[in-house]
Amino acid sequence: MGRSDPDLFVPYLILFSVIVAAAANISRDQDALLSVKAHIINDNPRNILAQNWTSNTSVCSWMGITCDIYGNRVTSLTIPDLGLTGTIPSYLGNLSSLQTLVLSHNWFSGTIPREIGNLTKLKELRLRYNKLQGEIPEELGNLAELEVLVLNNNLLTGTIPASIFNLSSISTGLDFSNNSLTGSFPDDMCEGLPRLKGLYVSYNQFKGPIPNNLWHCKGLSSASLSFNQFTGRLPRDLGNLTRLKSLYLGFNNLIGEIPEELGNLAELEMLVLTSNLLTGAIPASIFNLSSMLTALDFTNNSLTGSFPDDTCHGLPRLKGLYMSYNQFKGPIPNNLWHCKDLSTVSLSFNQFTGRIPRDLGNSTKLKSLHLGLNNLIGEIPQEIGNLRNLEILGIDQSNLVGFVPDTILNISTLKILSLFNNTFSGNLPSSKNLIGLPNLELLNLGLNNFSGSIPSFCFNASKLYALELGYNSFSGLIPEALGNLRNLKRLGLRRNYLTSSTSELMSFFSALVNCKSLKVIVLSENPLDGVLPSSIGNHSVSVEEIYMYKCNIHGRIPKEIGSLINLTTLGLGDNNLSGSLPMTLGRLKKLQGLYLQNNKFEGPIPQEFCHFSRLYEVDMNGNKLSGSIPSCLGDLNSLRILSLSSNELTSIIPSTFWNLEDILSFDFSSNSLNGSLPLEIGNLKAVVNIDLSWNRLSGNIPSTIVGLKNLQRLSLKHNKLQGPIPESF
């Protein structure tokens, strides 16, 4: 046989070497991925990786894995939203051909491995919505081809490494929002990020000024720096970011005026400067800012001045105008309502004057209107009924007068109607021949001069969860139809002229049993003139607070009240209730406030009252309670205020009472208590008020009173005590 030509074997040797190298590479990638799997301690609920990432199948067929066209290297690892729990291993840095790494929306914890900085071909890194902590590794600055870096909604701390601001390939965005990052931004940050389009760093703890040269990021279209601690003035050079579409700088400590140069941002759609310390007037250029602008939010600053009459001329697409909590003056512009796309207008807590423009009826897309706490005059215009998409109407405390227009009852979309603290008068409109408010969830008409009966639209609004009609002049029966409000949580009818049914039993209580979510009942200062029915106990699951002061209620407290197991506050003071206090009150384990003052209760204070382990305040003054103060009251460590004055209590103050070191005030005046005051009164280190006057106490005034450093009022008069009162008093 002839000898073989060695050159013939060279191509085969090269091919063999390539195959061996490729096999080694994909094997190394597989090992790195199996390391990721090994660091996952919870693959629930679907166990996808446990079943799919196995060594007996090609790594390129695994879920979330993409390889190059030859199947030699892993180029993408994308496993978001799988509920994975564990840590990210350093072996991930061996995937040297990786271009995309997405582990978002899982429960990964621990730190970001420094070895990720070895992935020099990486273009996309997304680790958002995990539990990652520690600092951002400086090695991420080695990712020279990175285009997007998303680390928001983790637990990261420390500063952003300087190397990050030199990732010149970053284009899509940097997102560090919702972490606990600190420090400030370098002045030259944009020189290293010339292609940056999105900067998102809200909800952190960054300090210092907003960099003056941020405008060098010529391609920036979105900047979100809200909820930090940035200080200083708004840089005028921001006006050079001519491609900017959204700018969020709210909830910082920015000062000074809004620069006129912001009016140069011709493509701006969103401008949010809420909750800063900005002053001065809004520059006229802002109102001609952009035909694209949809939202202006300057809420909660100290801005002044008035709005131009042609506000809408330069903002034709405006949908949201948020200007509450400032110091704006002057009338609300008539042509504001010519912004045809307006859906939200919030002008509350300012000093606007004049009448509500009738032209507001032209804003037919309006969903939310807040005009409260201004200096408006006049009535609500009838044209408000044209706002057939309105869901929220708030005009609280604005000096408005007159009748509420019946056209309001044509706004069937209305969910919240609040006209609190004005001077409206007359009867509320009836829903007869009108659509009514079937979607109403909250109605607050308190502190006005409304009269007449409670109108039917109130109890036909089946979605209503809060009804506040207090401090008016409503009269007539409390309608049993309130029981139709199955979602009602709060019923406020205080200080009206409402009555109960002709029978002595307050039958509306029985109807309210149908309101399974009812938590708060406020009926004080109405001439109910009846007896509490036993059906009050049928509210056992929901009711937490009852206020029925000055209602001329008589009779006894029914024993069924002990079924209100979630009750935290019971206010029945200033009535004509009599008889003994029911022992069943002791079942109210969650009670924090008990107010039974100025009634005609008699007999002893039940021992069962000592079961009130959460009790904060008790007022039972002005009754005919007798016997001794239960010694077990001294075990109620949560008790802060106790008033038992003007009763017929006898015997000594129990020694356990002096153990209440955190009590703030106690008033036992005008009883027949006897005995002496012990030195242990000095234990009451927090006490502010002590009134033991008009009793039969004797002995020496204890010297330890001088140690009560917080005491502001001490009354011991009309007893038989002797000795000097400490000079500090």
User: Which of these, 451, 450, 449, 506, lies nearest to 483 by C-alpha position?
Assistant: 506
**Distance from C-alpha of 74 to C-alpha of 59, rounded to nearest angstrom:** 8
Structure tokens at 664: 């703030």
pLDDT mean across residues, the chain: 92
Quick one: pLDDT at residue 186? 87
pLDDT tops 90 at residue 261: yes
Quick one: pLDDT at residue 598? 99
Quick one: pLDDT at residue 187? 83
Spatial contact of 536 and 564, defined as CB atoms under 8 Å apart = yes
pLDDT tops 90 at residue 254: yes
Quick one: pLDDT at residue 433? 63
Residues 269-312 have pLDDT tens digits of 999 999 999 999 999 999 988 778 999 999 999 999 998 888 88
Instruction: Concatenate the DSSP letters of all residues of 490-517 into one string.
Output: EEE--SSEEE--SSSB-THHHHHTT-TT
**Distance from C-alpha of 90 to C-alpha of 39, rounded to nearest angstrom:** 10
- pLDDT-derived band at 209 (thresholds 50, 70, 90) equals very high
Q: Enumerate domains of the chain plus CATH numbers.
A: 11-170 (3.80.10.10), 478-602 (3.80.10.10), 628-729 (3.80.10.10)
pLDDT mean over 382-390:
96
Number of CB atoms found within 10 A of residue 502's CB:
8
pLDDT tops 50 at residue 1: no
pLDDT tops 80 at residue 340: yes
Residues 620-670 have pLDDT tens digits of 999 999 999 999 999 999 999 999 999 999 999 999 999 999 999 999 999
pLDDT tops 90 at residue 501: no
Spatial contact of 379 and 404, defined as CB atoms under 8 Å apart = no
- pLDDT-derived band at 17 (thresholds 50, 70, 90) equals very low
pLDDT tops 90 at residue 213: no
pLDDT mean over 336-352:
94
pLDDT tops 70 at residue 18: no
Say what percent of the chain tops pLDDT 70: 95
Quick one: pLDDT at residue 683? 96
Specify which residues 655 forms β-bridges with.
none
Low-confidence winner among 325-334, 484-493, 503-512, 717-726 (lowest mean pLDDT): 503-512
**Distance from C-alpha of 33 to C-alpha of 285, rounded to nearest angstrom:** 56
What stretch of H or E contains 554?
strand 554-555
**Distance from C-alpha of 114 to C-alpha of 622, rounded to nearest angstrom:** 73
Quick one: pLDDT at residue 25? 66
Interior CA angle at 288 toward 287 and 291, to 5°?
A: 115
- pLDDT-derived band at 503 (thresholds 50, 70, 90) equals low
pLDDT mean over 87-110:
96
User: Which of these, 396, 341, 346, 339, lies nearest to 372 by C-alpha position?
Assistant: 396
Instruction: Concatenate the DSSP letters of all residues of 604-633 into one string.
Output: PPPGGGGG-TT--EEE--SSEEEEPPPGGG
**Distance from C-alpha of 330 to C-alpha of 315, rounded to nearest angstrom:** 20
Residues 82-97 have pLDDT tens digits of 999 999 999 999 999 9
Residues 564-602 have pLDDT tens digits of 999 999 999 999 999 999 999 999 999 999 999 999 999
Quick one: pLDDT at residue 171? 93
Residues 148-183 have pLDDT tens digits of 999 999 999 999 999 999 999 999 999 999 999 999
Quick one: pLDDT at residue 14? 41
